Amino acid sequence: MKINVLTLFPDFIEQGLHTSILGRACEKGLLSCNVVNIRDYSNDKNGRVDDYTYGGGAGMLMQAQPVYDAYKAVENASLKNNCEGENHRIRTIYVTPQGKPFTQKDALNLAKEDELVFLCGHYEGIDERVLEEIVTDRYSIGDYVLTGGELPALVMIDAVSRLIPGVLGNEVSADIESFYGDLLEYPQYTRPEVWNGMSVPGVLLKGNPKEVNAWRKEKAEELTEKVRPDLFEKYKQREHYIKELLKDKRNNIQMLESLRRGTGEIINTDPLVIYMACDDLVMVDINRKMDVDEFLSLLPDGVHSIVVGQEFGDILKDVEGIHKSCDVYNYVYTENVHRKIVNKDIRLLTEEYADYVGTHYELAGYDYAVEKVREGIVYGIFVDNEIAGFIGTHGEGSIGMLYIDERFRRRGLAADLESFMFNRDLEAGRTPYGQVIIDNVNSIKLQEKMGVYGGDKILTWLHL
């Protein structure tokens, strides 16, 4: 991801960006940072960038012209302009106490972009006209006022960057920490066993994984209830629906897993509607229909896909702007599936295979497949160092994108790839599942061979 920062204090930003984990991400090329000094674009001979506020009032305001010219310089050098030859709008974030509160959900959403611009204000703010011209999002990091936008911009950059695959080094750690699943993280301890007369809790010293997990959950619940009753309410609601959805796990796995993995947010309860910001997706209880206008009014900005039961899907497909893409069955891993340790040559695919994956994955198109490779969620299987096929995880969490090259079929490679993905999900504490188009006979056969259980209700995918 390329991050541009427009600021009057470039040293401040450079320091923050080149320290610790962000610094390493820059060195590894996972992040590239471009810090632009707005003062360099001042037309004033003394480099002045501020002036008095029309209508009176204390303090000075940053003028429109230097900010606009600094932004234009970034836009002209933008990755989007260079790569695609088109002038796409880069998400440009103005950090301001008057913005929307910045949350983990926003971080997930911004982490999907290839390039971002952060605009840092100073003095009393920035002339509104340039903000209207260039800014796409306004965010605040909290209900307090800081002396400038540099610290908030660094806070947001940190929260976004750690979600980029490879930045944390440990892929799993980003999705099990605080704010996933609406619980604050439990207390943790390291050596020595006794410090200042205080001992590490006995259950952690004993190290029985089941007991440790139960203790951690209890502590996380206690802490959240005490410190963040608002979050605790959401957590209890989530737990309630998890229990409900478990009653028909095979048909509900897509909603269930989004709540368990903490990627879904409940936006309606009767019927249950879940929004997954990370995939611009909305899912509705598959046994329910609702009034179309009421449903449309629930959709957050930017929603791209909808998953509903077949009956409601038949109604929605006739709504203007919505088109049906496919009907699927869920396939859900259960304890009965034989867990196979795969010792084939399976590798995470890097950019050099993006074109191969794009060319061979037909269902959702070239661009979709290439994006998944870039997100670091497609694995390839190799035979004698030659790629023989691949598998991936869709944005909402289901295993899919399975492809085996004609020359390598009937050798069990598809089953190997599936087993590999099952193991990855299970190790990360997730229930593996996939969705199969209802007439994809080969894939259904594979699921049955693997012992994976299919749902008996048809789900319809629609796109806006």
Binding site for ligand ADE (CB under 6 A): 95-97, 140-142, 144-146, 149, 152
Nearer to ligand ADE, 146 or 426 (CB): 146
Closest by CA position to 374, among listed 29, 18, 23, 17: 29
Nearest distance, CB of residue 48 and ligand ADE, angstroms: 21
Nearest distance, CB of residue 74 and ligand ADE, angstroms: 19
Nearest distance, CB of residue 8 and ligand ADE, angstroms: 13
User: Residue 99: what are its φ and ψ, rounded to 5°?
Assistant: -85, 175
Nearest distance, CB of residue 154 and ligand ADE, angstroms: 11
Nearer to ligand ADE, 138 or 234 (CB): 138
Q: What's the rounded Cα separation, in Å, for the pair 426 and 234?
A: 26
DSSP state of 424: H
Nearer to ligand ADE, 94 or 433 (CB): 94
Nearer to ligand ADE, 9 or 379 (CB): 9
Nearer to ligand ADE, 140 or 268 (CB): 140
Strand partners, 454: 331
Nearer to ligand ADE, 156 or 245 (CB): 156
* Packing angle of the helix pair 20-27, 10-17 (nearest 10 deg): 80
β-strand pairing of 2-7 with 32-37 = parallel
Nearest distance, CB of residue 230 and ligand ADE, angstroms: 19
Q: What's the rounded Cα separation, in Å, for the pair 208 and 136?
A: 50
299 touches 290 (CB < 8 A): no
Nearest distance, CB of residue 152 and ligand ADE, angstroms: 4
* The one-letter amino acid at 67: V
Nearest distance, CB of residue 332 and ligand ADE, angstroms: 43
Nearest distance, CB of residue 302 and ligand ADE, angstroms: 22
Q: Give the Cβ contact number of residue 363 at 10 Å.
A: 13
Peptide bond before residue 271 is cis, with ω within 30 degrees of 0: yes
Residue 226, CB-side half-sphere exposure with 13 Å CA sphere: 8
Strand partners, 462: 306, 324
Nearer to ligand ADE, 21 or 151 (CB): 151
Instruction: Kindly state the tokens that stand for 230.
Output: 């608002």
Nearest distance, CB of residue 19 and ligand ADE, angstroms: 21
Nearer to ligand ADE, 65 or 140 (CB): 140
Nearer to ligand ADE, 6 or 370 (CB): 6
CA distances (Å), origin 316, targets 264, 288, 289: 22, 13, 10
Instruction: Kindly state the tokens that stand for 65.
Output: 């012209």
Residue 380: in which H helix or E strand, if any?
A: strand 378-383
The answer for residues whose C-beta is within 8 angstroms of residue 208's C-beta and 6 or more apart is none
164 touches 30 (CB < 8 A): yes
Nearer to ligand ADE, 152 or 358 (CB): 152
Nearest distance, CB of residue 373 and ligand ADE, angstroms: 34
Q: Which long-range contacts (CB under 8 A, 24 or more apart) does 97-101 make?
A: 97/140, 97/143, 97/144, 97/145, 97/146, 98/138, 98/140, 99/137, 99/138, 99/139, 99/140, 100/137, 100/138, 100/139, 100/140, 101/139, 101/140, 101/141, 101/142
* Packing angle of the helix pair 10-17, 150-161 (nearest 10 deg): 20
Nearer to ligand ADE, 93 or 459 (CB): 93
Nearest distance, CB of residue 7 and ligand ADE, angstroms: 12
